[in-house]
Structure 1
């Protein structure tokens, strides 16, 4: 009995330490962004910052949630009720609205089993010592190259749990080696997507993606709450979070906003490498992209908020590159398009912690 009590105390202490570090890291990130915003655009009205601080304390129950609210306020030049701080989303909303059901998104070889259809560019998987096709047929290593290069001269391998551009590898037939895949670990092999010319104009190497955020409300209705375009830099093979350019997308029309934002939240009217401007551009097949993510979310309503990375290829086909059922970042969407979730009563979840 004593041993169980000690183990429980240790677990609770470990969780508290993890939460402390989580909020400490978010606070540091937010304060850094706030400094950049104020250095570029001037000091934020102190009255609005006080409103953000009060909202964190009175609505979310802890001043630890104030830093991101301050960033949203500085970005917009005013305070808006209904905003969700990104660390509140990660520490409170995600466990309550997704739990273990959201974590399955990190296990890439099961995506095809869940969603079926041809929206995913998956061609093969490696898991627990076996290579198998997108139809769950085990493939001998000697036959694997013929399988994965049947549709494309290049493939992308993504490790389970890969995020922020890490754990992503690009191979052609000459340098593809099943032994290398096995050494890297479990994951998915996807055909390399030749992106739509509109995306190609911004940056030709990294495949641009649309980040959609969809939610399931308490009545089971699924809706899109935010969307932005993620663009890589000219010299990168794929999008890296610390170098990407993000451009808000108007949900009603699929048009790009007039400005995009660098990793430090600095605004730019054009891609920093190609010089292609954002204003006047419209996402190709936007309605089809919307229909696709809504349809797929209906298959996993138990993960109640999902981030989808979607692109449109050169044949104008929608490709769902991955989905995130865990802590899909909401801070950029909240600042540029929010409040995105104000009707969902997520702030009431604090009493359930």
Structure 2
């Protein structure tokens, strides 16, 4: 009884701390973007919409922010505070996500042919070459035969943090360089092939892997695609995340890009740095991407909401770079495609009821 009470207090305290953090975040975002204040009628509609599911006095500040960038006010925008504090934990098994999201285990939950080729894994300090345990020295020797590779932490990172493309072709002392890199990453990292993207996607920016991010919702009878966006890196940068100057652009249901892409400051642009127009630009193999996700999500039954990072390679093959079940990132979707849950708003909020 006492243990249960203490646990409830700990959970409550954690949630309130998170809510406070998101309150500070939206205050900063609105101070930077200066969206118009909502009228009383709209505020009351928003609060009433969420109150019917037990979420009383929902802040309208996220609605101001999303409405400004989406150029349309919608009652059913999903505030970050609500999503991360209540909806994600209600629909996804948060106590399992660290293991299931481990990039060193992704092919065990999905299928090896649909994921990037992995050369070396480091799991809790132990090295594996082709899934066989080996020494650090052997791992360095194995990787030293490559001209290039991608190294990244295998768990607990967001927004491309720690992802590096390493070129070895001009290195004189490959062993020394690799020893330094492996020491820097310490443990829990993965060494993978450098993927070559579809020539069509490379038109958007050839220096970054421009990844499609899709969020899907697993229902008892089907998997639903809620929203799709593409993340395009800044020219000369390898990763495609917001923090390093990238942009996001919404994808419509036919697999074509929408008119505007948006950067982390909310600034809109109609074309890439090289002059490629976003509006109507086709995502290659989009139908294959959608069908792949619908099939794969059934392999992750503990997570009803999953965000997938996908690329299409030069052979027109769909590759799952990673998937996210916690801290999924919803802002890019809502500022380009509108309310995250669309027709499934009521169903998902009911599942998340307080």
**Taking structure 2 as the reference length, what is the TM-score of the superposition?**
0.84
Matches within 5 A, 1:10-89: 12-38=8-34, 47-89=41-83
**For residue 333 of structure 1, what is the aligned residue in structure 2?**
333
Q: Is the 8 A contact 2:212 2:228 kept in 1?
A: yes
Q: Is the 8 A contact 1:49 1:79 kept in 2?
A: no
Q: 1:56 to 1:331 in 2, by over 3 A?
A: farther
**For residue 104 of structure 2, what is the aligned residue in structure 1?**
109
Q: Is the 8 A contact 1:156 1:169 kept in 2?
A: yes
Matches within 5 A, 1:1-353: 5=2, 12-38=8-34, 47-99=41-93, 100-123=95-118, 124-134=120-130, 136-145=131-140, 147-148=142-143, 153-159=147-153, 160-173=155-168, 174=171, 177-178=178-179, 180-184=181-185, 185-217=187-219, 219-242=220-243, 243-251=245-253, 253-271=254-272, 273-341=273-341, 342-343=343-344, 345-351=347-353, 353=354
CA RMSD of aligned residues (A): 2.8
Q: Is the 8 A contact 1:65 1:88 kept in 2?
A: no
Unaligned ranges ≥5, structure 1: none
Q: CA deviation at 1:348?
A: 2.4
Q: 1:147 to 1:298 in 2, by over 3 A?
A: farther
Q: CA deviation at 1:125?
A: 1.2
Q: CA deviation at 1:25?
A: 2.4
Q: 1:77 to 1:210 in 2, by over 3 A?
A: closer
Q: CA deviation at 1:223?
A: 1.8
Q: CA deviation at 1:111?
A: 0.9
Q: CA deviation at 1:227?
A: 0.4
Alpha-carbon distance between aligned partners in 1 of 2:32 and 2:78, rounded to the nearest angstrom: 21
Partner of 1:118, secondary structure, is helix
Alpha-carbon distance between aligned partners in 2 of 1:220 and 1:187, rounded to the nearest angstrom: 36
Aligned residue pairs, count: 341
Q: CA deviation at 1:258?
A: 0.9
Q: CA deviation at 1:237?
A: 2.5
Q: Is the 8 A contact 1:195 1:311 kept in 2?
A: yes
Deviation sequence 1:259-289 (CA, Å, 0-9, x none): 1011122211112x32322123101111121
Q: CA deviation at 1:17?
A: 3.7
Q: Is the 8 A contact 1:104 1:325 kept in 2?
A: no
Q: Is the 8 A contact 2:308 2:323 kept in 1?
A: yes
